[in-house]
A = this chain, B = another copy of it.
C-alpha cells in the first residue's frame, strides 16, 4: 500500500483512539495537510478496499483490516523512535520527524529485528504503547515517575517527558536513556531529591527532573 494510504489510516487511528477527535474527512484532511475533497476521495477508495467504512457525511470507521494496517505503521513509527532515541543524541522532536518518514519504508522483517534488538519494548520514548507484530497493544502503562520510585530498587527508564534540548543533553551525558537500568540509591522525601546510581555513577536529581523521568520496575 502507498504512503498516502498508510498515512490516511494512521491519521484516522490516531484521531480516533488517541486524540478522541472525530474522524470525518475534514479532520483527517487537516491533519494530513490535504484538501477536504482529497480526503473524501481517499475515503471512498479505501472503503472499496475494505480498509474503512464510509457513509456520506458520517465519521470514518476503520475496519479490522484497516486497524491492522494502522497498527502496523504505528508499530514501525514507535520502534524507530525507540531505536533512534536509544542510539543517537536526538530529541523527541527529531526522532518523531525521522520516524514519520522511515515508518513507510520498513519491512515487517526489519521491524521485528529492531524490536528484538530493543528487547521487545512495550512503550516508546514518548510513553506511547508499541503494538506487537500481531497488532496487540499493552494499554495499561505501568511506569511511574522517578519521584515515586522506591529506595534500593532497580528500574528501567521508560520515558523522558520533555522537549527541552538542555534536558536531553543532560540526560545523554549521564546515561539517562530510554531502556537503561538505574538503581535508586536514596529517596530524600523531605528535600524532594532522589539519588540514583547508573553505570557506577551517582546522580542527585531534584523534583524538576524526577517528575518527568518515568521508569518501570524490572
A101 within 8 A of B: yes
Question: Which of A16-24, A106-114, A169-177, A196-204 forms part of the interface with chain B?
Answer: A106-114
Q: CA of A107 to CA of B99 in the docked complex: distance in angstroms?
A: 11
Q: CA of A109 to CA of B107 in the docked complex: distance in angstroms?
A: 23
Chain B residues positioned under 8 Å from A217 (CB to CB): none
Question: Which of A40-48, A86-94, A145-153, A185-193 forms part of the interface with chain B?
Answer: A86-94
A98 pairs with B88, CB closer than 8 A:
no
A: interface residue count bin: 10 to 19
B104 pairs with A105, CB closer than 8 A:
yes
Chain B residues positioned under 8 Å from A107 (CB to CB): 97-98, 101
A102 within 8 A of B: yes
A88 pairs with B113, CB closer than 8 A:
yes
Q: CA of A84 to CA of B106 in the docked complex: distance in angstroms?
A: 12
A117 pairs with B101, CB closer than 8 A:
no
Q: CA of A98 to CA of B106 in the docked complex: distance in angstroms?
A: 7
The minimal Cβ–Cβ distance linking A83 to chain B, given in whole angstroms, is: 9
Query: Known contacts A88-B117, A117-B87, A117-B88; is A105 also within 8 Å of B109 by CB?
Result: no
The minimal Cβ–Cβ distance linking A26 to chain B, given in whole angstroms, is: 28
Q: Which residue from B98, B113, B117 sits with its C-beta under 8 Å from A110?
A: B98
Give the nearest-CB partner of A112 in chain B. Answer: B88
Q: CA of A90 to CA of B110 in the docked complex: distance in angstroms?
A: 9
Interface-centre pick from A84, A90, A102 (highest chain B CB count, 10 A): A102
A–B Cβ pairs within 8 angstroms, 20 of them? A84-B110, A87-B117, A88-B113, A88-B114, A88-B117, A89-B113, A90-B113, A94-B109, A97-B107, A98-B106, A98-B107, A98-B109, A98-B110, A101-B105, A101-B106, A101-B107, A102-B102, A102-B105, A102-B106, A105-B105
- Nearest 5 CB-CB pairings of A with B: A101-B105, A88-B113, A105-B105, A98-B110, A102-B105
